[in-house]
Amino acid sequence: MKTKHKLQHMLTLEELTAESLTELLELAKAVKQSPSDYQTALAGKKVALLFEKASTRTRISFEVGVVELGGYPVVLSGADMQIGRGEPLSDTIKVMSRYVDALMIRTFAHETVETLATHGTIPIINGLTDLHHPCQVLADLLTIEEHFGSRQGKILTYIGDGNNMAHSLLLGGALSGMEVRICSPDAYAPNEKIVAQAIEIAKATGGTIELFTDPVAAVKGAEVIYSDVFASMGQESESIERLNAFAGYQVNLSLLREAADEVIFLHCLPAHRGEEVTADVIDGTHSVVFDQAENRLHAQKALMIELLGK
Query: Secondary structure of 102-123 in the HEC alphabet?
Result: EEEEECCCHHHHHHHHHHCCCC
Beta bridge partners of residue 50, listed in sequence order: 76, 105
3 is in an annotated binding site: no
Is residue 181 annotated as a catalytic residue, yes or no?
Answer: no
133 is in an annotated binding site: yes
28 neighbors 299 (Cβ within 8 angstroms): yes
Is residue 136 annotated as a catalytic residue, yes or no?
Answer: yes
| Given the residues 9, 101, 110, 136, the one annotated as active site | 136
273 is in an annotated binding site: no
| Given the residues 9, 296, 298, 300, the one annotated as active site | 296
| Given the residues 133, 242, 267, 298, the one annotated as active site | 133
59 is in an annotated binding site: no
In this structure, the chain runs to a length of: 310
| Given the residues 106, 167, 181, 242, the one annotated as active site | 106
SS3 202: helix
Beta bridge partners of residue 251, listed in sequence order: 277
| Given the residues 268, 292, 298, 300, the one annotated as active site | 268
**Number of helices followed by number of strands (H, E) in the chain:** 12, 9
228 is in an annotated binding site: yes
Q: Is the peptide bond before 185 cis (omega within 30 degrees of 0)?
A: no
Is residue 228 annotated as a catalytic residue, yes or no?
Answer: yes
232 is in an annotated binding site: yes
Beta bridge partners of residue 125, listed in sequence order: 10, 104
183 is in an annotated binding site: no
What is the rounded CA–CA span in Å between residue 10 and residue 304?
10
The alpha carbon of residue 151 and the mean position of all alpha carbons in its chain are separated, in whole angstroms, by 16
| Given the residues 228, 242, 292, 298, the one annotated as active site | 228
296 is in an annotated binding site: yes
134 is in an annotated binding site: yes
Is residue 183 annotated as a catalytic residue, yes or no?
Answer: no
7 neighbors 20 (Cβ within 8 angstroms): yes
Nearest alpha carbon to residue 35 among 300, 307, 298: 298
268 is in an annotated binding site: yes
H/E stretch holding 163 reads: none
237 is in an annotated binding site: no
135 is in an annotated binding site: yes
56 is in an annotated binding site: yes
List, as residue ranges, the binding site for L-ornithine.
Answer: 164, 228, 232-233
Q: Catalytic site residues?
A: 106, 133, 136, 228, 268, 296
List, as residue ranges, the binding site.
Answer: 55-58, 82, 106, 133-136, 164, 228, 232-233, 268-269, 296
List, as residue ranges, the binding site for carbamoyl phosphate.
Answer: 55-58, 82, 106, 133-136, 268-269, 296
